[in-house]
A and B are shown apart, each in its own frame.
Chain A
Amino acid sequence: MVGIALAVYPLFGTGYGVRAMLQLFMWVALAGSWNLISGLTGYVSFGHVAFFGAGAYAAAILIVKGGWPWALAALAGGAVASGLALLIGATCLRLKGPYFAIAMLGLNEVLRVLVSYFEGLTGGGLGLSLPTLDATVAIYYAMGAMAALVTLVAYVIVTSRFGLRLMTIREDEVAAEALGIDAFRHKIYAFLLSATGPGIVGGLFARDQGYLEPISVFPLAMTITMIVMTLFGGKGTVWGPVLGAVTLFVLQEVVWARFIYVHQLLFGAIIVVVVLFMPRGVLGLLQLKYRLPRTI
């Protein structure tokens, strides 16, 4: 029912409304993707926005220089992000959890530097402009599809053996390996999956915005938001990121976006509170209290 409501919304929603829902879908997809690696395997990715930015730039370049249709370009963005994840994962996933996290912290900086460096291709600091096209409604559906897809993938993984193995890695990697789980391969798969979503979504975002510059697609704030949404909702669960994304997005739009530093500050505070008092997020609390199934 909710699905039908969402599907017909653009017919009577306002421009702002459609835009807002579009963004909400984007956040659901982003948070859900972050959850795939960080929630399930416990390998916290502090640089996940890198995949979003990479996908955005890849798609934008294909649209501008190659004249690709935006849908295809977005998918290509996802492919590029996956490739990037493979590269990064092959090197960094061999590291133990905390080391991986710190390495990912540095990733943001590196990508921003690289984008500025390859100015000819990316337009550097001046930014990259896409030919104007009003595709807001189409992108609304595309983002919605992505949000649904990511949640579906999460569900499939969480209820599968693959997911169980990932979670074993999270709980105790050494024991997992002793059980015969090839941790590295599993981590890579999860990482690749977690990067594709942001890549595609980044491409869609690029089309929707019509203009890219390094600072707009690689902000730390985006990683932070992804993290807070998933943590708050419940990492490692299927609907946790969705819940977190909806709640925090609504709060953001209604209350905080006016005072950008206050809202980031609150995000920081929320992270602290969640880590200390509800490490499994809101959904985790509900799971405990009402004995909900693990695979929610």
Chain B
Amino acid sequence: MNVVITPAMVGQVILSGLLAGALYALVALGLALIFGVMRVINVAHGPLLMLGAYTTWFAYHRLGMNPYLTLLVSMPLLFLVGALLQRTLVFRVVDAPELSSLLLTFGVSIALVNLAQLAFTSDLRSIEYIGGSWMVGSFAFAKSRTIAFGFAAGITAAAFLFLQKTRLGKAIRATSQSREVAMVCGIDVQRIHLITFGLATALAAAGGSLLSLIVAIQPEMGQVWTFKSFLVIVLGGAGNYPGALLGGMLLGLVEQIASLFLTTQLSEAVAYVLLVLVLLVRPAGLLGGRQT
């Protein structure tokens, strides 16, 4: 590895890391919500993201919608899908040992991926909408990634505002802190579970829609996102929603920095190594989280 690393390269890499980080944070927030509120590890999170990406693809290619406008389609649509999943399947395992919900969502994820393969074939699809980069000084801002960053940041900020300021948001946070006490306070926990799952799926769908403009779309695209979202949650601390933000940024940065030193192939393993490291050294995550 005789690569000379210049400050400019480091700067570019940090920039790319931050741009990617927002997307990670967005998707991971969804997973964090499900885990925090229901103690369910939603292995199907990635495939749901994939469905969001396909929704955007179809809306763009069949209906001619502006890809960014399709967020208005994919998010509500996947909200319904998530709510449906919760109402029919997931609610049955919320109180069961975590293993059951893990296996259940695993089964769902396999089903979703294979449904997609049947319906859409494994052919790679893409949306060529906006390419190239903006140059600011010597730094390149890839257009599609920068716009995705903007939307991801916006949606994540909106989600946080929702959680902090609205009654429903507070109810969700209350339920994730303590289900029993929330019930005593008169919160309809079943409804909160339903809404949370739907909301989380909508966030994943948003991630998928934004992602569809950056990478190629295929049925298997979501699986690595489940893993990375989980990593983000572990980094930030399970049950800690702002932690998901931090974790997302961190993952983005670490991956980009690693790509400076490692071949592209090896840098795929970075996320995994990071997960094992964090779980061994500081399982509570960087922001401490709660004891789960």
| Residues B107 and A268 in contact, CB atoms below 8 Å apart | yes
User: Which chain A residues lie closer than 8 Å to B92 at the CB level?
Assistant: 276
Interface: A275 (CB within 8 A): yes
**Known contacts being A44-B99, A261-B117, is A272 close to B107, with CB within 8 Å?**
yes
Interface: A46 (CB within 8 A): yes
**Known contacts being A113-B265, A279-B100, is A271 close to B106, with CB within 8 Å?**
yes
Interface segment, A4-12, A102-110, A148-156?
Answer: A102-110
Interface: A231 (CB within 8 A): yes
Q: Mark B71-87, 1 if CB is under 8 A from A, else 0.
A: 00000000000000000
B261 CB to nearest A CB, Å:
14
Interface segment, A88-96, A184-192, A286-294?
Answer: A88-96
Q: Residue on B with the closest CB to A107?
A: B272
Interface: A162 (CB within 8 A): no
Q: Mark A226-260, 1 if CB is under 8 A from B, else 0.
A: 01000100000000000000000000000000000
| Residues A272 and B268 in contact, CB atoms below 8 Å apart | no
Interface: B93 (CB within 8 A): yes
| Residues B106 and A98 in contact, CB atoms below 8 Å apart | no
User: Which chain B residues lie closer than 8 Å to A92 at the CB level?
Assistant: 276, 279
CA distance A113 to B102 in the complex (A): 25
Give the interface size bracket for A toward B. 35 or more
| Residues B98 and A98 in contact, CB atoms below 8 Å apart | yes
Q: Which of A91, A107, A110 has the most CB of B within 10 A?
A: A110
| Residues A276 and B104 in contact, CB atoms below 8 Å apart | yes
| Residues A265 and B107 in contact, CB atoms below 8 Å apart | no
User: Which chain A residues lie closer than 8 Å to B283 at the CB level?
Assistant: 95, 99
CA distance A55 to B280 in the complex (A): 27
User: Which chain B residues lie closer than 8 Å to A113 at the CB level?
Assistant: 265-266, 268-269
**Known contacts being A98-B98, A261-B118, is A267 close to B269, with CB within 8 Å?**
no
| Residues B269 and A262 in contact, CB atoms below 8 Å apart | no
User: Which chain A residues lie closer than 8 Å to B98 at the CB level?
Assistant: 97-98
User: Which chain B residues lie closer than 8 Å to A110 at the CB level?
Assistant: 268-269, 272-273
| Residues A265 and B110 in contact, CB atoms below 8 Å apart | yes
CA distance A277 to B276 in the complex (A): 34
Q: Mark B143-160, 1 if CB is under 8 A from A, else 0.
A: 000000000000000000
Instruction: Give the contacting residue for A272; candidates B89, B226, B273; CB below 8 A.
Output: B89
**Known contacts being A231-B103, A268-B114, is A114 close to B227, with CB within 8 Å?**
no
Instruction: Give the contacting residue for B266; candidates A42, A117, A227, A265; CB below 8 A.
Output: A117
CA distance A116 to B97 in the complex (A): 37
| Residues B107 and A103 in contact, CB atoms below 8 Å apart | no
Q: Mark A96-133, 1 if CB is under 8 A from B, else 0.
A: 01110111011101100110110000000000000000
| Residues A271 and B107 in contact, CB atoms below 8 Å apart | yes
CA distance A13 to B93 in the complex (A): 46
Q: Which of A94, A99, A116, A262 has the most CB of B within 10 A?
A: A99
Interface: A174 (CB within 8 A): no
Instruction: Give the contacting residue for A106; candidates B108, B109, B271; CB below 8 A.
Output: B271
Q: Residue on B with the closest CB to A88?
A: B276
Instruction: Give the contacting residue for B227; candidates A102, A117, A270; CB below 8 A.
Output: A102
CA distance A110 to B234 in the complex (A): 19
Interface: A269 (CB within 8 A): yes
CA distance A267 to B111 in the complex (A): 8
**Known contacts being A103-B275, A110-B272, A275-B93, is A44 close to B110, with CB within 8 Å?**
no
The 6 closest A-B pairs by CB, nearest first: A271-B107, A268-B110, A268-B111, A265-B114, A272-B107, A106-B272
